[in-house]
Amino acid sequence: MTGEFVVSLIALFVSVAVVAGTLATLVLRRHAPERKRLRALAQPAGERLWREPRSLTDAPNPLAERISRIVPRSAERMSEMRQRLVTAGYRSHASPVLFAASQIVSSIAIGMVVLAIGGNVPVALLSVIAGFLLPGFWLSRQIKKRGRAIQNGLPDVLDLLIICLESGCSLDQAVLKSGEELAVAYRAIGDELTVVTNEIRAGTARSEALTHFADRTRVEDVRSVVAMLVQTDRYGTSVAHALRVHADLLRSRRRQRAEERAAKASVKLVFPLVFCLFPAFYLIALGPALLQVVHVFFSAVANFE
């Protein structure tokens, strides 16, 4: 009986290991850089409505034009919304209209769901307001997420720029090559560098295109890098040397941010431990003893009566 139990336990362990390994292989294969590059090349242009095609021209979208006639928004409000969407990475002309429509649809849908569940009119009105604000919260989260990705990938971008400059490329060619190579590893930075290259090709001055890059991302590290590049371009100093010094500084900042998050992890683990692990531990450790105490107590009461 013991031998059969051991064989069954080994078979179960091997089966779980094989299933876990197969699932991990499938997930890692899907997110491999070469697979992402192949999917990006196979994706038809203009498939994603909210993303801007990587070209100097963008045709108006018929769906966005129809929605814009229905959605009542002022030009100033739409301009502000477009700037926030550009910061989040959505540069299509249709994205502000679709975002405004999503606010209206979300507020109406959440209000109707709350009203159908059984809420009263004041609760439904509050849910309508919450539904209207929900896409804004999502957009703010996307802006922070994209800014964090740009901030973490900026030292690697500077390293690639240094390699391109030291191999004989000009700064414009280095920016172009860096944008092409980083399209998979750091897509946000690759898209921004592609926009910078398109602006320079369209006739915008290099310093102005870099300033637009800093204004779009709203990341302090990007602003410092752009200010350094503009200054070196103006005074004719060595760009590669300045980039190397700045890359070391940004890499040190990234390491310090990682250490700060690691130090905060122990504090953040207190709440899951208190609310999830400790109740289960107390139930398993003290539950039988408490049941025994209750049983003895009621037995003593019965005998006393």
Angle between helices 95-117 and 62-70 (to 10 degrees): 60
Sketch out the chain's domains with CATH numbers.
63-145 (no CATH), 151-260 (1.20.81)
Distance CA 9, CA 3 (A): 10
Number of other residues whose CB lies within 10 A of the CB of residue 47: 8
Residue 46 gets the label, from left (phi > 0), alpha (psi -120 to 50) or beta, of left
Picking from 76, 79, 72, 77, the residue whose alpha carbon sits closest to that of residue 93 is 79
User: What pLDDT, on a 0 to 100 scale, did the predictor assign at position 6?
Assistant: 66
Residue 166's pLDDT is what?
85
Residue 218: name the closest of 62, 57, 86 by CA: 86
In angstroms, rounded to a whole number, what is the distance separating the alpha carbons of residues 99 and 92? Answer: 11
How high is the pLDDT of residue 55?
Answer: 46
What CA–CA distance (Å, rounded) separates 159 from 154? 9
pLDDT score recorded for residue 31: 64
What percentage of the chain's residues is helix, strand, coil (to nearest 5)? 80, 0, 20
Instruction: Please give the angle made by the CA atoms of 80, 153 and 98, to the nearest 5 degrees.
Output: 30
- List the structure tokens of 22: 């197969």
Give residue 120's pLDDT: 75
DSSP state for residue 269 in the 8-state scheme: T
Torsion, Cα of 254, 256, 261, 263 (10° steps): 160
Does the predicted TM-score (pTM) go above 0.75? no
Burial group, residue 186, by CB count within 10 angstroms (0-12, 13-18, 19+): buried
3-state class (DSSP) for residue 119: coil
Residue-level pLDDT at 45: 42
Question: What would the two tokens of residue 288 be?
Answer: 């039988």
Taking only the tens of pLDDT, the chain with its 305 residues reads 456 666 776 777 788 888 888 887 777 776 666 666 666 666 544 444 444 444 444 555 555 555 555 555 666 777 788 888 888 888 877 777 788 888 888 888 888 888 888 767 778 888 888 888 888 898 889 899 998 888 888 888 888 888 888 888 888 888 888 888 887 778 888 888 888 888 888 888 888 888 888 888 888 888 888 888 888 878 777 888 888 888 888 888 889 988 888 888 888 888 887 888 878 887 888 878 888 888 887 777 777 66
pLDDT recorded at residue 43: 55
